[in-house]
C-alpha cells in the first residue's frame, strides 16, 4: 500500500459533479464546479481534472464520468476527489461504501465542500447519517413523484417518455391521441401476424418501405414483439404495471399487485379491436411452443396443439428404442409422464399425424371441402348478417353512452380537485358494464369474420393443400397444421379435431366450431405403421 501511495502526486485533486434530470438544471454543474474550485484554492490543492455527469441519477453507479473517475483513481494522478455534497457522489448507501473503499485502496480520499469530514471517529457517524439522509431523500422523492403520476394515471394522462408507436400526446390535455399514419402500420402488424405472417417477413416489408420506429430506427424483432404485446392498443390505459429497477439498476418485468396497477378500459383511443389482440396473443403463445419444438431432434408436427382429452394435460413427443435398435416415436400425456393420475395411453406418432393430415386433405383442402365451407357460410351469412349489424349498432351506442358518463366523472374530478377514490366504485361499475359490452361486440366481430372466406384465403388453401399432399417440408407442414387446426384431443376411445373454422348449426341461426370425431381403434387400424422386419444375422 505504501508503494502505491508513493506514486500519487501530492496535493492533487479532481472534481466530480452531477445533476439529475428530475429537479435540477445543467447550470447546477457549473455552480458545483465553482464551489469545488474555491475549496481547492483554500486548501492548497491543484485541480488536474473535472468529471461531470449530466441528467444522471445518484441511485445508480452506472454513470460514464463517475466510472471513468473511479478507474483513473488507480493511475496515481490525483490524491483527492472533491464533491460539492456527498449525495453528488452517490445516493445509494451500498454504492457509496463500495466506491469509497475502492478510492481508499487506490490511496484517494473523498472530500466534501459542504460537509466537513476529517476522518475522525465522530465524522464516521456524521458521514453515515448524511448518507442515510441522502438515501431517504431519494426514495421519498421517488414516492412523491409516483403519487403524482398515479393521479395522472387515474385521469388517463401521459406520464412522460415516448408514447407508444401509433399515438401522440395532446399538448393541452396531455392525453393520448391517435397518429393515423403510425396507426396504419400498427394495424398492418397486428393483422399480418394474426394471419400467420412471421416477424421476419413483417420487418422486411416495413423497413423496405421506409417505415421507422418512434426513435427513427429500423424495426426489429424486439420492437415488433413489444408492440404486439401492448394491450394499450385495445384502448386500455395502463400505468404502474411492473416493479421498478432492481438493486443494480436493471429493469425487471415482475408485475405489481392488482391494487398498485392502473388499468382503465376506454382510457385511450383504441387502434385495434380486442378480438384481433386476443388472436395475436394466442398466436404468440402457439409460436413460442412451436419454436421450442424446432430445437427438438425429432419433428413432431402436432406439438403445441395436441392434448389429453381425459385430464386436459398437454401431450408431448417421446420415443423408445428396442433391443434391436428400432425407434418408436409417440405422443404421451404429460400428466401421465410425470406419474400423476391419468391412465390415458400414448399414441404412435405416425398414427395421429397421419390421421390429422388425412382429415385436413378431406375436410379442408379437397374441392368438396372448400365448396362445403363456402356454401355453408354464405347460407348462414344471408340469415345472420342483418341481425349482427343491428346488434353491433345497439351495443356500440350503449358503449359510447357509458364512455361519456365516465368522461364526465373524470372531468368533474379534474375540475373540482376531489380524489378519484371518491368515485372509484361508480367508475368500476361503469367500466365493468363497458367491458361486457366490448366482449359482446368482440364475439359479433369474430362471428362476422368466420362467415367470410375471401378469394385470397381460398387460393392460399389450395397452395397449402399441395404442401400437405406432397408431405416433403416438415417445417412447412407444421405451420400449415397450426394455421388450420385449433386443437387435437385424444380420449380413451376417440380422437377429436377442432378446426379454426365454424359452421352454421342445423337451424342456420347460429354457428358451431367445425370438429371431426373418429373412433380411436379405427384410426389406429387405418394408419398403423407396417411392422419392421428383424435383421437376420
**In the prediction, which pLDDT does 2 show?**
42
Q: Do 350 and 472 fall into the same domain?
A: yes
**In the prediction, which pLDDT does 247 show?**
47
Q: Using CA atoms, how far apart are residues 209 and 307, in angstroms rounded to an integer?
A: 42
Q: Do 241 and 353 fall into the same domain?
A: no
User: What CATH number should be reported for the domain holding residue 214?
Assistant: 3.90.1750.20
Task: Report how far apart, in Å, the C-alpha atoms of 379 and of each of 278, 384, 459, 505 are.
Answer: 28, 9, 21, 11
Q: Using CA atoms, how far apart are residues 309 and 333, in angstroms rounded to an integer?
A: 10
Q: Do 427 and 464 fall into the same domain?
A: yes
User: What CATH number should be reported for the domain holding residue 78?
Assistant: 3.40.50.1390
Q: Do 307 and 337 fall into the same domain?
A: yes
Domain with 230, as residue range(s), is 167-282
Q: Do 276 and 310 fall into the same domain?
A: no
Q: Using CA atoms, how far apart are residues 243 and 36, in angstroms rounded to an integer?
A: 38
- pTM of this prediction exceeds 0.75: no
Q: Do 124 and 219 fall into the same domain?
A: no
Could you give phi then psi for residue 168, rounded to 5 degrees?
-120, 175
Could you give phi then psi for residue 511, rounded to 5 degrees?
-125, 150
Q: 150 lies in a domain?
A: no
| Sites in the chain below the pLDDT cut of 70 | 1-7, 21-27, 55-61, 91-94, 117-149, 242-259, 289-298, 336-340, 376-377, 379-386, 413-425, 446-459, 502-513, 529-537
| Rg of the chain in Å (alpha carbons) | 33
pLDDT in tens, 336-382: 655 567 888 899 999 999 999 999 988 888 888 777 777 766 766 66
Q: 199 lies in a domain?
A: yes
Q: Do 92 and 233 fall into the same domain?
A: no
Q: 290 lies in a domain?
A: no
Per-residue burial over 204-228, b if 16 or more Cβ lie within 10 Å, else e, is eebeeeebebeeeeebeeebbeebb
Q: 174 lies in a domain?
A: yes
Residue 135 CB coordination number (10 Å): 20
Q: Do 61 and 118 fall into the same domain?
A: yes
Q: 148 lies in a domain?
A: no
User: Residue 512: which H helix or E strand, with range?
Assistant: strand 511-519
pLDDT in tens, 411-424: 776 666 665 555 66
509 alpha carbon, distance to own chain's centre: 39
Long-range interactions of 405-413: CB distance < 8 A, separation 24+: 405/430, 406/266, 406/430, 406/431, 406/434, 410/155, 410/156, 413/154, 413/155
User: 306 by DSSP, 3-state: which?
Assistant: strand
DSSP 314: B
Q: Do 306 and 276 fall into the same domain?
A: no
Q: Do 235 and 359 fall into the same domain?
A: no
Asked if residue 348 lies in contact with residue 302, where contact means CB atoms within 8 angstroms, the answer is: no
**In the prediction, which pLDDT does 122 show?**
46
Q: Do 336 and 421 fall into the same domain?
A: yes
Residue 41 CB coordination number (10 Å): 11
> Total domain count for the chain?
3
Q: Do 260 and 381 fall into the same domain?
A: no
Amino acid at each position: 500500500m505504501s508503494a502505491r501511495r508513493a506514486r500519487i502526486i501530492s496535493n492533487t485533486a479532481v472534481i466530480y459533479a452531477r445533476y439529475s434530470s428530475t429537479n435540477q438544471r445543467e447550470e447546477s454543474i457549473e455552480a458545483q464546479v465553482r464551489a469545488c474550485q474555491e475549496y481547492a484554492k483554500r486548501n492548497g490543492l491543484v485541480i488536474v481534472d473535472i468529471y461531470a455527469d449530466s441528467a444522471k441519477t445518484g441511485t445508480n453507479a452506472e454513470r460514464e464520468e463517475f466510472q471513468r473517475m473511479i478507474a483513473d483513481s488507480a493511475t496515481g494522478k490525483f490524491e483527492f476527489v472533491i464533491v460539492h455534497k456527498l449525495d453528488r457522489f452517490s445516493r445509494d448507501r451500498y454504492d457509496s461504501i463500495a466506491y469509497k473503499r475502492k478510492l481508499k485502496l487506490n490511496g484517494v480520499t473523498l472530500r466534501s465542500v459542504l460537509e466537513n469530514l476529517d476522518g475522525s471517529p465522530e465524522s464516521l457517524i456524521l458521514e453515515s447519517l448524511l448518507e442515510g439522509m441522502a438515501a431517504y431523500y431519494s426514495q421519498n422523492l421517488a414516492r412523491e413523484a409516483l403519487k403524482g403520476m398515479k393521479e395522472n394515471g387515474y385521469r388517463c394522462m401521459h406520464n412522460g417518455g415516448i408514447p407508444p408507436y401509433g399515438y401522440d400526446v395532446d399538448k393541452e390535455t396531455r392525453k393520448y391521441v391517435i397518429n393515423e399514419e403510425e396507426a396504419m402500420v400498427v394495424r398492418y402488424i397486428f393483422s399480418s401476424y394474426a394471419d400467420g405472417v412471421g416477424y421476419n417477413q413483417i420487418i422486411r416489408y416495413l423497413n423496405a418501405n421506409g417505415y421507422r420506429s418512434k426513435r427513427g430506427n429500423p424495426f426489429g424483432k424486439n420492437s415488433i414483439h413489444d408492440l404486439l404485446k401492448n394491450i394499450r392498443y385495445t384502448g386500455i390505459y395502463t400505468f404502474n404495471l411492473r416493479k421498478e429497477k432492481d438493486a443494480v439498476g436493471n429493469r425487471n418485468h415482475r408485475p405489481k399487485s392488482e391494487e398498485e396497477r392502473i388499468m382503465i378500459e376506454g382510457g385511450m383511443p383504441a387502434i385495434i379491436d380486442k378480438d384481433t389482440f386476443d388472436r395475436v396473443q394466442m398466436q404468440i403463445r402457439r409460436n413460442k411452443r412451436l419454436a421450442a419444438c424446432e430445437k427438438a431432434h425429432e419433428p413432431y408436427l402436432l406439438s403445441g396443439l395436441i392434448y389429453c382429452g381425459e385430464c386436459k394435460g398437454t401431450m408431448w413427443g417421446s420415443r423408445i428404442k428396442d433391443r434391436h435398435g428400432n425407434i418408436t416415436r409417440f405422443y404421451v400425456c404429460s400428466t401421465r409422464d410425470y406419474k400423476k393420475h391419468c391412465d390415458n395411453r400414448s399414441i404412435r406418432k405416425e398414427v395421429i399425424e397421419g390421421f390429422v393430415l388425412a382429415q385436413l386433405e378431406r375436410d379442408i383442402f379437397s374441392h368438396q371441402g372448400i365448396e362445403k365451407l363456402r356454401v355453408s357460410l354464405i347460407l348462414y351469412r344471408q340469415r345472420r348478417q342483418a341481425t349482427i349489424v343491428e346488434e353491433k349498432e345497439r351495443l356500440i351506442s350503449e358503449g359510447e353512452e357509458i364512455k361519456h358518463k365516465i368522461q364526465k366523472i373524470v372531468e368533474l374530478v379534474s375540475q373540482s380537485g376531489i380524489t378519484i377514490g371518491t368515485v372509484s366504485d361508480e367508475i368500476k361499475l361503469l367500466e365493468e358494464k363497458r367491458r361486457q359490452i366490448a366482449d359482446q361486440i368482440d364475439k359479433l366481430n369474430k362471428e362476422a369474420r368466420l362467415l367470410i372466406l375471401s378469394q385470397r384465403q381460398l387460393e392460399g388453401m389450395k397452395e397449402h393443400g399441395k404442401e400437405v399432399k406432397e408431405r416433403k417440408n416438415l417445417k412447412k407442414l407444421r405451420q400449415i397444421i397450426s394455421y388450420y387446426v385449433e386443437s387435437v384431443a385424444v380420449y380413451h376411445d376417440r380422437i377429436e379435431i377442432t378446426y379454426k373454422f365454424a359452421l352454421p348449426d342445423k337451424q342456420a341461426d347460429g354457428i358451431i366450431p367445425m370438429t371431426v370425431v373418429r373412433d380411436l381403434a379405427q384410426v389406429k387400424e387405418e394408419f398403423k405403421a407396417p411392422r419392421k422386419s428383424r435383421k437376420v444375422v
